[in-house]
C-alpha cells in the first residue's frame, strides 16, 4: 500500500542520513501540484524518482522497490559500484550463503559490453546481491565457463546464462533473474499478486482448478514440467477456484465452474487473452499452447455469452461477441 511504501521510504531516508548525507530524500503530494505532475509525467501513485547532479532533466525511475533495505541498496548502486568484485572462492561462498538468492557474473575480463549490461542489471535489481569475478580460480572451482551469469538459490546454482556481447539486454537479464524471486508456479492470492506484477514478464499463463480435486496432483505436475521450460518467458500462475476471494479474477476471464480446469494466457501490455484449445492439461498440450502463443500463432480469446434464442425477434437486435461480426459486417 501507499502508506507502507511511504514508511519504508522514510526508514531508508533515516538510515542513509548517517551513511550518505549527500543523498536527500523528499516527499511531495502532487494532488495540488499540477505543473510538477505534468512536468514529470506522474501517472501512478506512489512514484519514486531519483535526480542526479542537481538536474531536473531525465530523472531515473525507481520501480518495484518496496522495502527500506532495497531503497538503500538501489540508491547505493546508483551512486557507487553496483556489484561486489570477487577475488576468491571464499568471498563467492560467503555471498552465496548469505541469503536466499545471489547472482554472480563469471567473466574473462572486467571491461566488455556484457560486463556493462550485468552492472546495469544489478542497479535495477536491489533485492539480491550481485558479484562479479574474472579470477580463473573462482571460475574453475564452480566449473563455470567464463562470460556467464549464474543465479544461486539456497546455496545451489539454479540458472546459468551465457553472456555474449551485444546479445542480452538489461531488461532480458532482469526478467530472468527476477523470476527466481518467485517459485516456478505462484499461487494467486492477495499477498502474491503484488510480487507477480513486480516481475517484468508480460506474459502470464493461469491454471484455474480446484486444489482439492482428485486429479489436482497430476495436473499440477504437468503444469510444473511446462513451467520449467518457459521460465523467464511466461509466468506460471495457479488460481484455486475454491477460494471465494478469487471471484474477481474468474469474472475477468469469464471462467465458470463447468469450465475448470481451464488454462488461459494473458498479455499484460495489450490485455489480450488466449484460451488453451485442448481441454486436457497435459504437458504436451501446455507446451504446444505456450509455444504457439510465443510464435504469435495463438488465437485471441474474446469471451462471449451464448447468442440469445430471440435475438432478432424485436426491432432492436441483441448482439453478443459471437454474432457481432456476422450481423454487423
Residue 320 vs residue 280, higher pLDDT: 280
Fold match between 2-79 and 182-295? yes
Task: Tell me the pLDDT tens digit for each residue of 130-156.
Answer: 999 999 999 999 999 889 999 999 999
Domain ranges of the chain: 2-79, 84-179, 182-295
Superfamily of chain region 84-179: Glutaredoxin (3.40.30.10)
**325 falls in which pLDDT band (50, 70, 90)?**
low
CA distance 198 to 210: 26
> What pLDDT was estimated at residue 321?
65
> For residue 203, what are the β-bridge partners?
267
Q: Which residue has the cell 502474491?
A: 192
> For residue 264, what are the β-bridge partners?
206, 275
CA distance 123 to 63: 11
Going through 74-180 in order, the beta strands assigned E by DSSP cover 84-85, 101-106, 130-133, 148-153, 156-162
Residue 308 vs residue 231, higher pLDDT: 231
Superfamily of chain region 2-79: Glutaredoxin (3.40.30.10)
> Which pTM does this prediction carry?
0.78
What's the grid cell of residue 123?
542497479
Whether 311 contacts 321, CB under 8 Å: no
CA distance 78 to 87: 23
CA distance 116 to 105: 11
Task: Tell me the pLDDT tens digit for each residue of 176-233.
Answer: 899 998 899 999 988 888 888 888 899 999 999 999 999 999 999 999 999 999 988 9
132, HSE (Cβ side, Cα atoms, 13 Å): 25
Whether 152 contacts 96, CB under 8 Å: yes
Fold of the domain spanning 182-295:
Glutaredoxin (3.40.30)
b/e string for 26-43 if b means 16 or more Cβ within 10 A?
eeeeeeeeeeeeeebeee
Whether 198 contacts 186, CB under 8 Å: no
CA distance 106 to 146: 5
What's the grid cell of residue 86?
570477487
User: H or E element: which one contains 207?
Assistant: strand 203-209
Amino acid at each position: 500500500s501507499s502508506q507502507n511504501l511511504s514508511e519504508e521510504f522514510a526508514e531508508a531516508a533515516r538510515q542513509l542520513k548517517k551513511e550518505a548525507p549527500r543523498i536527500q530524500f523528499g516527499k511531495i503530494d502532487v494532488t495540488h501540484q499540477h505543473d510538477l505532475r505534468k512536468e514529470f509525467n506522474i501517472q501512478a501513485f506512489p512514484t519514486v524518482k531519483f535526480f542526479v547532479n542537481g538536474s531536473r532533466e531525465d530523472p531515473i525511475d525507481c520501480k518495484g522497490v518496496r522495502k527500506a533495505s532495497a531503497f538503500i541498496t538501489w540508491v547505493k548502486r546508483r551512486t557507487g559500484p553496483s556489484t561486489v568484485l570477487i577475488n576468491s572462492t571464499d568471498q563467492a561462498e560467503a555471498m552465496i550463503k548469505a541469503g536466499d538468492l545471489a547472482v554472480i557474473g563469471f567473466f574473462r575480463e572486467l571491461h566488455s559490453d556484457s560486463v556493462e549490461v550485468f552492472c546495469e542489471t544489478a542497479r535495477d535489481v536491489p533485492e539480491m546481491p550481485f558479484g562479479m569475478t574474472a579470477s580463473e580460480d573462482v571460475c574453475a572451482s564452480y566449473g563455470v565457463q567464463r562470460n556467464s551469469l549464474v543465479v544461486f538459490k539456497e546455496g545451489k546454482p539454479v540458472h546459468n546464462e551465457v553472456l555474449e556481447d551485444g546479445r542480452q539486454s538489461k531488461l532480458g537479464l532482469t526478467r530472468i533473474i527476477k523470476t527466481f524471486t518467485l517459485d516456478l508456479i505462484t499461487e494467486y492470492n492477495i499477498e502474491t499478486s503484488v510480487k507477480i506484477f513486480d516481475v517484468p514478464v508480460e506474459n502470464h499463463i493461469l491454471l484455474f482448478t480446484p486444489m482439492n480435486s482428485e486429479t489436482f496432483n497430476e495436473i499440477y505436475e504437468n503444469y510444473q514440467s511446462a513451467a520449467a521450460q518457459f521460465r523467464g518467458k511466461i509466468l506460471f500462475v495457479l488460481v484455486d477456484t475454491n477460494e471465494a476471494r478469487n471471484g474477481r479474477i474468474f469474472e475477468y476471464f469469464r471462467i465458470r465452474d463447468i469450465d475448470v480446469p481451464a488454462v488461459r494466457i494473458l498479455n499484460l501490455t495489450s490485455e489480450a487473452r488466449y484460451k488453451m484449445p485442448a481441454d486436457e492439461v497435459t504437458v504436451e498440450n501446455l507446451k504446444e499452447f505456450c509455444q504457439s502463443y510465443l510464435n504469435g500463432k495463438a488465437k485471441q480469446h474474446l469471451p462471449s455469452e451464448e447468442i440469445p434464442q430471440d435475438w432478432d425477434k424485436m426491432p432492436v437486435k441483441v448482439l453478443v461477441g459471437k454474432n457481432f461480426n456476422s450481423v454487423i459486417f
